[in-house]
Structure 1
């Protein structure tokens, strides 16, 4: 299925200040400038929030750097990941936090996971099943047993699947990295809200 080309463009901006050096995305060329401002304000707020949560105002020896990756920009949906890395002098290793931003470029709506599905449908159970099967199949090392995602679980979208991810140390050791689990849209088809952006990518 050929999808409508998404509105706007993504340009890379830099944030450089004492102990911080990162690139971040900015949306430009949207027809609705209020929507454009809303989206860009949200992106910047989330980045600053991530930096603060990693101790910017508490640990004055800590350095921060970061980048972003666009995972989907089609049919007016923008789905991307923002990575913020931090390192304190003398630490064994740095830490990485990841934030997904899933937004409608025509309205500025930011999607939580629960927004994509029919209310009271069994999407959580379907996603949990895929994750649990993959943990077993790949023998993924766990710090604590995985039980369930929640309605605001971290995720991003691609043309083929919804990807659930977890933070460092949330379930797995540092050496494993950021755990990601791909959930094909076909698995979720019966639970997807008609107005939800994933509908555009289900064959």
Structure 2
């Protein structure tokens, strides 16, 4: 396997390659964490998510389908790791391929995986606020919709950057294929009053 050190510090990221019949992808492996159980938990999670994504795109049903993938680290700071896993698939004769995206947001000390609901105070107001921002942006940017956007949920796809939480949706979930993966960047400052004290965003704001 080829590898590349992504970043210095506690917990480094090696770039691994998986090549087998109909599958060719790169994926991240976390190494050098002090807690080896946490390290294994995170790496197992990454591999499980990749496998699930491939199966969901028809690996075991369509034997003409090819798969390839990559990952992008969006944040590695204050022991918070936020990354995106991309899995692409293409069936012979199809007009175009498909891309699925999965975010992994994890604490490198505890191994805790964050869902959107873990970031905010438990009153649900954050959902209304984020919905409002997304709806405004849809109008402002004249984003083409297949179905009307109503609301995110507590397990909505997201990733973190240094200054914003990015809400995203899958291909065809709301927009046509040609639009790509819809993303909505919401600065932490806009959500400051709604962020839970235990949220990783609290550390990023500080």
Match for residue 97 of structure 2 among 83, 94, 104: 94
In 2, distance between residues paired with 1:200 and 1:104? 12
Question: RMSD in angstroms over aligned alpha carbons?
Answer: 1.0
Gaps of 5+ in 1: none
Provide the secondary structure at the position in 1 that maps to 2:71.
strand
- What residue is the counterpart of 1:35 in the other structure? 38
Alignment coverage as a number of residue pairs: 199
Gaps of 5+ in 2: 1-7
Provide the secondary structure at the position in 1 that maps to 2:10.
coil
Match for residue 79 of structure 2 among 76, 81, 84: 76
User: Relative contact order: is structure 1 or structure 2 higher (C-alpha 8 Å, sep ≥ 6)?
Assistant: 1
Alignment of 1:105 with 2:108, yes or no, is yes
TM-score, normalised relative to structure 1: 0.96
Q: By how many angstroms is 1:202 displaced?
A: 1.6
Q: Which moved more, 1:150-159 or 1:191-200?
A: 191-200
Would you say the 8 A contact 1:27–1:40 is kept in 2?
A: yes
User: CA-to-partner distance for each residue in 1:88-128, whole Å, 9 max, x for gaps?
Assistant: 00000000000000000000000010011111141001111
TM-score, normalised relative to structure 2: 0.95
Match for residue 125 of structure 1 among 113, 116, 128: 128
Runs of 4 or more above 2 Å deviation: none
In 1, distance between residues paired with 2:179 and 2:56? 22
In 2, distance between residues paired with 1:104 and 1:201? 13
- What residue is the counterpart of 2:47 in the other structure? 44
